[in-house]
Structure 1
Amino acid sequence: MKKLLLVAALLVAAITNAQKGSFLLGGNVGFQSEKIGDSKSNNFEFSPKAGYQFSERWTIGVEGSIANADAAGFGKTEKYKIGAFTRYAVPLSEIFSVYADLGAGYQSSSVNDAKGMYAKLTPALFINMKRGFGLNFSIGGLNYDNLDGKNDPRQERMGFDFGKTFNIGISKNFEL
């Protein structure tokens, strides 16, 4: 974990020393509640992102995620992710841009103290509102993750959920 924090600190330092451009803050918040018979589950996730846009099309930065799940009969689960991302954007007009985020990093889960890695590729649409605020829309992508628990076998997942999920996020660009 100390090595991961050192890598994140070095990445932030590299971002702040890049050529002048804009600093990006953004993220997503999600909540899901499900009830089947007497069984109920609640899921909450917060995924912030910070990056430096060093050219008109390229952004690099750090991302994270905190997720809590509470399912009757299974107890509470906490999941954490921290990693880096790179974004390639293509402006279509002053209002619209399309972009793809490629992110990878470390993840952990409170279930059996599991740890692992993740990688994801997410195409999205950016709508520039006003004063650097924007909305981000994505409808899935390609993802991979793995987890190794203390008493569980290794879990590996690969998914292609393009068109199956829908995410809305908000971002703010700050001029330096």
Structure 2
Amino acid sequence: MKKLLLAVALLIATITNAQKGSILLGGNVGFASEKIGDNKIEGFEFSPKVGYQFTNHWTAGVEGSIQNYKESGSAREEAYKIGAFARYSTPLSDLFSFYTDLGVGYQDTTLNNAKGMYANLTPALFINMKKGFGLNFSIGGVYYDNLSGKGTPREERIGFDFGKNFNVGISKNFGL
């Protein structure tokens, strides 16, 4: 099961470069597992996006995320995100395009019923394979989020995670 989830995560990443008037559909699927001593953490995430490319460079849309994770000896936790994204893409050649996504929105987690906001900026590369199908590559970005819940102090994080993660995906744009 873990190998299947890893394969899906490597095949499906983000939506990308399209043409003016196109609808973009896509998202991420991910699985993570970490073991330190006797402590084990496992997590699964599904993050769909839907957008409309209103110029040859700019796309706007909605994004969401459902996360499910469990730490040894703890109950399973869930987290949700819903927000908007803006994408700027520019072709480097017929084969390559560069794009950057800016996402902002609301997040909610079952852990202490915490709620808050998030923002992220992620640059990526698109390789056009054929007829709107392509591969997407990203290696991290910059993010900010905050959470506050009942009985817990407010958490605020700012991060720079270039090189700490690697996403490879496949995408398709649909013209109207």
- TM bucket, shorter chain: 0.7 to 0.9
Shift in Å at residue 74 of structure 1? Answer: 2.4
Name the counterpart of 2:150.
Answer: 150
Give the Cα separation in 1 of the matches to 2:97 and 2:164: 22
Q: Secondary structure at the match of 1:108?
A: strand
Residues 45 and 68, structure 1, Cα contact 8 Å, conserved in 2: yes
- TM-score scaled by structure 2? 0.85
**Aligned-partner residue type, residue 118 of structure 2:** Y
User: Could you tell me which residue of structure 1 aligns to residue 98 of structure 2?
Assistant: 98
Instruction: Please give the secondary structure, in 2, of the residue aligned with 1:151.
Output: coil
The Cα offsets for residues 92-138 of structure 1, whole Å up to 9 and x where unpaired, read as 11221001101100000110111000000100001122222222111
Report the Cα distance in structure 2 between the residues aligned to 1:173 and 1:120, rounded to whole angstroms.
23
Runs of 4+ in 1 over 4 A off after TM superposition: none
Q: Which runs of 5+ in 2 are unaligned?
A: 1-19
* Corresponding letter in the other structure for 1:61: G
How many residues are matched?
157
Aligned-partner Cα distance in 2 for 1:171–1:62:
16
1: CA distance between counterparts of 2:87 and 2:96?
Answer: 15
Q: In the alignment, what sits opposite 2:35?
A: 35
Partner of 1:126: 126
Give the stretch that moved more between structures: 99-108 or 34-43: 34-43
CA RMSD across the alignment: 1.2
- Offset of residue 55 of structure 1: 1.1
- What displacement does 1:21 show? 1.0
Larger RCO (alpha carbons 8 Å, 6+ apart): 2
Consecutive unaligned residues of structure 1, counting only runs of 5 or more, are 1-19
State the TM-score, normalized to the length of structure 1: 0.85
